[in-house]
Structure 1
């Protein structure tokens, strides 16, 4: 394979990935192996024993006997005309419902993005104006980033709407309903942007041109603007991650606050097996994520100019942070606390029901209280760790293997990796739930289908660096085969950093699995799982807030361990350099 064929192969990879996504969504009615006519009849009339005459009428009306390939082609042709088909439940056209829900989701994401920009600005404003060469708001940004959107939304709903009665809890009928969902989505996103900017800005202030500008007597405002312009363009790719996170987080937030957006529309349709509506909503959500990535890339090129973009703009060197082993103190303490709670819960029975003790407050017999069926919440928290963290370990291992294999063939897998990186796990979860029903396995597949992509992109970047090194070039000149160079010389330098990357992503994978359980796409009752435990507690949040706080605290601790461990490892690597 010649180097000249590389760009063409990358373009083909993107086209194939997009075509595969369309084919996957279009084939949803046949993926489960069930008869689409039976699904339609069940969705419309709820009949468990279908009438053969009614089934024949449905097949004739929709021409289902033409076969999956013909119907897939018909669906794609309709898609080009803007026709998304008709709902299996109501018979109404899908497109108007999708466009209406899309407008609601865009409004919610726009408000959340405004909140994120405000939060990020507040985190970096003080250090930017005073010219700090060390981090300012990075710790606070890390704390905000560690909170999942659905978890923060639960806390805001509990405190602001239930306890203080300062905001409307549910619905979407006016501006008063925007505040809490926008805060729940925007605060973690703003924390991530602020943390990334806070890492880059001190490095920019330490560069030699800043000292030159300062010696020349330029005003502080001009220097701050120059540092900001130097720091932000390299962060535009991360902006894509933020918007993708908003797309995925909006599904849970819309469900939590009863907002009639795309996410809630897709979840309701998946539960009712109304697959045409699921198809339209999933395509709209995927298009949002992909368009956001394109806009972020375009904005980066406009900001840095064609010359710097072609050369590859490098971010400023980050502040290495504190030295020594104390950087591991916080993640170690938080992880130890979480492990102690899990082990204590593992010694108790999570399935024993006692209606007489339903929603009991914490006591000596049940340290964290009881749920709506009188089950011990400490026990459900401990055993739920197997379905949350345990499944996350398996998913992370699979994602690591897939990421390494795909990263070694970047031109063939680039398009698929970019698409998977731009699609939140909840979209794949909607597809698996619509095809096979919600389950732990479906949630694991959904998260694994996207978790490998960042690792593959990381592997591809490291492989390019290793192949450009002097000793690898010498191996080529000595006639070594490509397979030998990759296995003997490249992989030993690539695998350790990618393995660390995969381990640091483990808590994030667990949170993604919990989020799918929270919205009903993962583990089903009565099996305990942290996201599911939190969802079961939400209807009783006014009467028994401790039931929601139990799982919420565990998820918050898990997120805090993830962010603090990442910060500690980043500081250790910076000092080794």
Structure 2
């Protein structure tokens, strides 16, 4: 009996469930810079959601007696030229920048993906017309095209969001078109066609899921660009209008006080820099995980 117990082989431990997405998540967690970027973005998201609990000031409240005060216990980031609490305005400005960045990229991602799928899968006239449309949009610098769109529609935050979405459509469109061109000749797509599967089902069941990796990476990086473009339009007075506390608008209103009150420019500039850095670090981490060419 004792000998049988000694000869018994131990049962192998159950292997942890594995899969491409689970392995990608593990690889992302091991990327310290990507995790740093995620922490930065989670911090700003928490600030945006908890804005009313973080500060008790009203971002529109003007106290001219307190204008251009240096950072202190009463005003952590100081005050602007109208006596408004700068910390409060930056906290509420986080909502605007994240909202514009995420919503505009979602819009451009959906439109660009649909156009890219049509161009890459059907080819011929659809590819020619859509590709030339992308070429026309890409022939202009992004910020100049965004300014032109806002100039036609009128300066407002909503029109700035629409302009940013429009200028980013060809970025996703050309990316998806190239991916579809490489996937439509794969064996599983040919087999699906041979089985009589409809084109719409082939596109959204077989091709689109295999194109998600580059789309996700590009979307993350595009959010960073969208935040910069939103700040640029706000700086030029073509984005959020007073008294909305958009970061670019805060910089524009404070540029004449850069020598006497540098904190009015320092803190909104740091907010833009950190947010963009966070999304870029996440995008780089996702690229390392999802791009097969980056894997050893």
Distance in 2 separating the partners of 1:479 and 1:341: 52
Contact 1:389 1:507 in 2 (8 A): no
Please show how residues 9-24 of structure 1 align to structure 2 within 5 Å.
none
Contact 1:323 1:572 in 2 (8 A): no
**In the alignment, what sits opposite 1:392?**
101
**In the alignment, what sits opposite 2:34?**
328
Change (3 A) 1:482 1:345: closer
CA-to-aligned-CA distance 1:205-256 (integer Å, 9 cap, x gap): xxxxxxxxxxxxxxxxxxxxxxxxxxxxxxxxxxxxxxxxxxxxxxxxxxxx
**In the alignment, what sits opposite 2:279?**
562
**In the alignment, what sits opposite 1:81?**
none
Among 453, 463, 467, the residue aligned to 2:184: 467
**In the alignment, what sits opposite 1:447?**
164
- 464-473 or 529-538, larger mean C-alpha shift: 464-473
Change (3 A) 1:373 1:500: same
Question: Normalised by the size of structure 1, how large is the TM-score?
Answer: 0.42
1:405 equivalent in alignment to 2:122 = no
Contact 1:399 1:452 in 2 (8 A): yes
Distance in 1 separating the partners of 2:191 and 2:221: 34
Distance in 2 separating the partners of 1:476 and 1:322: 36
**In the alignment, what sits opposite 2:266?**
549
Contact 1:423 1:450 in 2 (8 A): no
Contact 2:34 2:284 in 1 (8 A): no
Secondary structure, aligned partner of 1:505:
helix
Please show how residues 1-400 of structure 1 align to structure 2 within 5 Å.
324-339=30-45, 342=48, 345-346=51-52, 347-348=54-55, 349-400=58-109
Q: CA deviation at 1:385?
A: 1.8
Distance in 1 separating the partners of 2:276 and 2:30: 23
Distance in 2 separating the partners of 1:418 and 1:323: 38
Q: Which structure 1 residue ranges, 5 or more long, are not aligned?
A: 1-320
1:493 equivalent in alignment to 2:199 = no
> Which of structure 1's runs of 4+ aligned residues deviate more than 4 A?
339-346, 574-577
**In the alignment, what sits opposite 1:263?**
none
Secondary structure, aligned partner of 2:38:
helix
CA-to-aligned-CA distance 1:95-130 (integer Å, 9 cap, x gap): xxxxxxxxxxxxxxxxxxxxxxxxxxxxxxxxxxxx
Change (3 A) 1:521 1:417: same
Distance in 2 separating the partners of 1:378 and 1:323: 32
CA-to-aligned-CA distance 1:78-97 (integer Å, 9 cap, x gap): xxxxxxxxxxxxxxxxxxxx
Change (3 A) 1:523 1:465: same
Q: CA deviation at 1:446?
A: 1.2
**In the alignment, what sits opposite 1:438?**
155
Contact 2:220 2:280 in 1 (8 A): no
Secondary structure, aligned partner of 2:208:
helix
Contact 1:513 1:522 in 2 (8 A): yes
Change (3 A) 1:446 1:461: same
CA-to-aligned-CA distance 1:458-492 (integer Å, 9 cap, x gap): 11111112101111122233343333322332122
Distance in 2 separating the partners of 1:457 and 1:487: 18
CA-to-aligned-CA distance 1:170-209 (integer Å, 9 cap, x gap): xxxxxxxxxxxxxxxxxxxxxxxxxxxxxxxxxxxxxxxx
Among 534, 540, 558, the residue aligned to 2:251: 534
Distance in 2 separating the partners of 1:356 and 1:343: 30
Contact 2:159 2:239 in 1 (8 A): yes
Q: Which structure 2 residue ranges, 5 or more long, are not aligned?
A: 1-26, 120-126
Distance in 2 separating the partners of 1:487 and 1:336: 31
Q: CA deviation at 1:538?
A: 0.3
Change (3 A) 1:331 1:352: same
**In the alignment, what sits opposite 1:525?**
242
Among 134, 144, 168, the residue aligned to 1:427: 144
Distance in 1 separating the partners of 2:33 and 2:175: 25
